[in-house]
Structure 1
């Protein structure tokens, strides 16, 4: 099954480090339309999701949400959660770590889109 969200080794390592400090994590992507957007990383349960959010993936045990309106732009795109030098968002847990989470992306192939449609995921 094709996955909507993947992680790089650097993202996995940072997630493990943050989880050791803060406990279980969650991500929410509420803005940005292209490569270079940064999802926010929160302690799980500190950001309230609702009917306007979509659970795109569970990365290990970590849920990754996106607003429904945002997902309409990204639904044909695989998101790759990566890490780059810089500052995280003001309320994102990686702030102060000297790095930030970053979204890279690639458009799904026709076969992958057909698979996602068949599974009612887009």
Structure 2
């Protein structure tokens, strides 16, 4: 089983995985803009895209759900021992209603060539963030269903997630979202 899946060991799988390319772009953006945050858009004018903002530029709603924290200190396969903070941590949020549609999937934050949304920081970089998803197994859903969600009002009150909610880093999206018939690298 890959590092992104946790049901065989009984470990709680992260709701968020990031590719090396997405983590590298976030490091570059963090160097230019300081602390960052992301919000998985629910559609409308920007489609359904992960949007990157300077921390605090997007107001997180009380019912928005924290999918995880991208720990910019991590490399492929590393597991966090503590929760990243400051410019090493990128919070990734999703609206509560959008989460209800996605709660059975692990969101994979990736980056592809192209122009990002006019509101997202990667726009001038010639790259755009892209959400991919892997459906959780039944046992993973059971494990996740027993875990409380961290929502915006909890964050505002000072609650922080456990390190296991940090996004794992994979080399490429296919490592987290295998395509049938393709060999997954380890």
Q: TM-score if structure 2 supplies the norm length?
A: 0.61
Q: Deviating runs (4+, > 3 A) in structure 1?
A: none
Kindly indicate whether residue 53 of structure 2 is the aligned counterpart of residue 53 of structure 1: no
Could you list the runs of 5+ residues in structure 1 that have no partner in the other structure? Answer: none
Say which structure is richer in strand. Answer: 1
- Answer with 1 or 2: which has the greater Rg: 2
Tell me which residue corresponds to 2:51: 40
Could you list the runs of 5+ residues in structure 2 that have no partner in the other structure? Answer: 1-11, 72-88, 150-186
Number of residue pairs the alignment of both structures matches: 118
Q: Alpha carbon RMSD of aligned pairs, Å?
A: 1.3
State the alpha-carbon separation in 2 of the partners of residues 94 and 58 from structure 1: 18
Tell me which residue corresponds to 1:7: 18
Tell me which residue corresponds to 2:142: 114
State the alpha-carbon separation in 1 of the partners of residues 62 and 35 from structure 2: 22
Q: TM-score if structure 1 supplies the norm length?
A: 0.91
State the alpha-carbon separation in 1 of the partners of residues 148 and 95 from structure 2: 18
Aligned counterpart for 2:108 among listed residues 76, 80, 103: 80
